[in-house]
Amino acid sequence: MVTRMRFTALLFVLLITIAVMVNTAVAPSTTSPITIFELEVVSLAELHNNPDTYDGTMAYRKISIVGEFSELGPHRSTITQDSYSLVIDTTEEKLFAGFNVGDEVKLTGVFYHNRIGDDLFVPTYVLHYPVEDLNNVEISNITQDQVSFNGKKVTIVGNLSSIEQSLGRYVLYVTDPETNDKLKVMFYGMTDLEPDTIIKVSGLYTGGILHSEDMGKYYPPMSLTSLIPGFSGLIALAMFGILTILFKREKHNG
């Protein structure tokens, strides 16, 4: 009786160990080499005092700035930080959907120093600040209410319906298998992902596009065979071997 109880306890420990391995396994992913939409943050005071250092007219250079919208118009807006202000090019209106006067914002783009008139900042990425990460979001929720997600970080899961490389980046579309809603993604890194693969993508949703920091194949929780190719066969052999050894020992001790 004691022998059986000991054998059962050992088997239980083995199963718990396998469960822990499943929950802690990390799926391989493809990551961008840098955080493309959050670069060196330069204060408006620093831009005012040393404009030539950051001027993108002579040498193209992207930086990030933080401020509060004091004016928000269709072509030109203004952000303020402490007692300093800077004119923002808001021609790309979709980047600013959902933002209002008084909102704090982080902008990543190019600063242009004008020796005669106002300096100008042309943003590529616009984020609510402090940065909001909404984590897992359904693709259909984003496509049906783009304004609510604009300027925020999200993570989506869907089918990679198409992918192509263009101008040093990947342009892909991820589709919700249940609703067929489709989201455009731009990834700035290297990947070997192919169409008809279920993927997980994290990044910044801005201007109707998800700019990706991190993406890779999606593996459902507790899926041993998908987490590690050939894992089920290997673990089955390992379990059989361990159980055989334990059984022989218990039989010998009994």
> In degrees rounded to 5, what are phi and psi of residue 40?
-55, 125
Higher pLDDT, 20 or 194: 194
Output the pLDDT for position 181. 96
Separation between Cα atoms, residue 126 and residue 108, nearest integer Å: 7
Q: Are residues 82 and 139 in the same domain?
A: no
16-27 mean pLDDT: 44
Q: Are residues 154 and 204 in the same domain?
A: yes
> In degrees rounded to 5, what are phi and psi of residue 235?
-70, -35
Of the listed ranges 140-149, 157-166, 188-197, 226-235, the least confidently predicted one is 226-235
Q: Are residues 141 and 123 in the same domain?
A: no
Separation between Cα atoms, residue 227 and residue 217, nearest integer Å: 10
101-110 mean pLDDT: 97
Output the pLDDT for position 38. 82
Domain holding 248, by residue range, is 2-25+224-253
- The half-sphere exposure of 186 on its side-chain side, counting CA atoms within 13 A, is 16
> What are the pLDDT digits (tens) for 114-147?
988 899 999 999 999 999 999 999 999 999 999 9
> Is pLDDT of 1 > 60?
no
How many structural domains is the chain composed of? 3
Of the listed ranges 13-27, 56-70, 96-110, the least confidently predicted one is 13-27
pTM over 0.85: no
Residue 203 sits in a domain of what CATH number? 2.40.50.140
Quickly count: other Cβ atoms within 10 Å of residue 114's Cβ. Answer: 12
Q: Are residues 146 and 169 in the same domain?
A: yes
**The CA-based dihedral angle spanning residues 43, 45, 47, 48, taken in that order and rounded to the nearest 10 degrees:** 170
Structural domain contains residue 191: yes
Separation between Cα atoms, residue 130 and residue 34, nearest integer Å: 20
